[in-house]
């Protein structure tokens, strides 16, 4: 398949593409900033429908992985302007353009923030939306609402991945370059996210589903990741078992 990946120049995108490369998929990578890659690249803004329309032309599937930047002290999420423009409008643009082009297979990189207001020991993979406070969780929940409606109304095959705290397991660093020394149940290697996205796009019987995606063994029960493993025949490749006992990070 030829796959369009948005947000491809970011921390998540750079790791997410690895499983697609490994399994021989053709890639078209989109971001708002110029970047270099051995794959086809598109510089464009997901809030610009004309740019999105060009980006989706000729692809077989889409991974929606773009996100409004948080900025210093989370400044860009202090009002709805940027997160709703990029996260929500950008996602709606991609689904609308996909529908116009007959593209059926889409994966949305959502977040645990879409359901993180539940106060439960176990967060099932298919819980209804109940976003954490603030515009980040709200915008991720809105992405899932868009995804579900397009799948239901137009027969698209759509997966929303509720991912945890995104890290690079080789360097034990997050997107801000911070070194992580203690394991947390929500730790998620960016390549593991890419592998789940690949399996969802290749899944022959997917309609609309939500999957919790983390890499640690602690998440198997507490975040129902065992369902993701069973449904997609997946096993995390980077479980962070080499880090110290799980702790709660701010």
Secondary structure (DSSP) of 29-98: EEESS----SSEEEE--TT-HHHHHHHHTT-SEEEE-------GGGGGGSSSHHHIIIIIIHHHHHHHHH
Average per-residue pLDDT for the chain? 95
Q: Rounded to two decimals, what is the model's pTM?
A: 0.95
Residue-wise pLDDT for 154-199, tens only, equals 999 999 999 999 999 998 999 989 999 888 999 999 999 999 999 9
Q: What is the mean pLDDT of residues 105-124?
A: 95
Pairing of strands 61-64, 157-163: unpaired
Q: What is the mean pLDDT of residues 68-78?
A: 84
In the chain, domain spans: 2-232
Residue-wise pLDDT for 139-156, tens only, equals 999 999 999 999 999 999
pLDDT, position 246: 66
Is residue 217 scored above 90 in pLDDT?
Answer: yes
Is residue 248 scored above 60 in pLDDT?
Answer: no
What residues form DSSP beta bridges with 62? 4, 106
Residue-wise pLDDT for 1-50, tens only, equals 999 999 999 999 999 999 999 999 999 999 999 999 999 999 999 999 99
Q: Does domain 2-232 have CATH number 3.30.1330.120?
A: no
């Amino acid at each position: 398949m030829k796959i369009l990946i948005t947000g491809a120049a970011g921390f998540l995108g750079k790791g997410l593409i690895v499983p697609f490369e490994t399994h021989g998929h053709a890639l078209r990578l989109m971001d708002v900033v110029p970047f270099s890659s051995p794959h086809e690249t598109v510089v464009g803004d997901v809030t610009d429908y004309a740019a999105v329309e060009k980006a989706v032309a000729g692809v077989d599937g889409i991974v929606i992985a773009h996100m409004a930047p948080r900025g210093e002290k989370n400044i860009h999420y202090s009002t709805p302007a940027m997160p709703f423009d990029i996260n929500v409008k950008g996602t709606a643009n991609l689904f609308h353009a996909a529908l116009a082009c007959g593209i059926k297979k889409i994966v949305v990189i959502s977040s645990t923030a879409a359901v993180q207001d539940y106060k439960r020991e176990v967060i099932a993979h298919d819980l209804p939306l109940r976003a954490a406070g603030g515009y980040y969780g709200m915008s991720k929940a809105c992405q899932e609402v868009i995804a579900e409606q397009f799948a239901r109304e137009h027969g698209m095959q759509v997966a929303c991945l509720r991912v945890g705290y995104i890290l690079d397991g080789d360097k034990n660093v997050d997107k801000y370059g911070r070194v992580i020394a203690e394991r947390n149940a929500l730790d998620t290697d960016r390549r593991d996210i890419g592998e789940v996205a690949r399996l969802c796009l290749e899944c022959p019987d997917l309609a609309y589903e939500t999957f919790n995606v983390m890499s640690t063994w602690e998440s198997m029960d507490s975040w129902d990741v065992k369902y993701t493993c069973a449904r997609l025949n997946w096993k995390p490749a980077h479980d962070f078992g080499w880090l110290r006992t799980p702790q709660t990070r701010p």
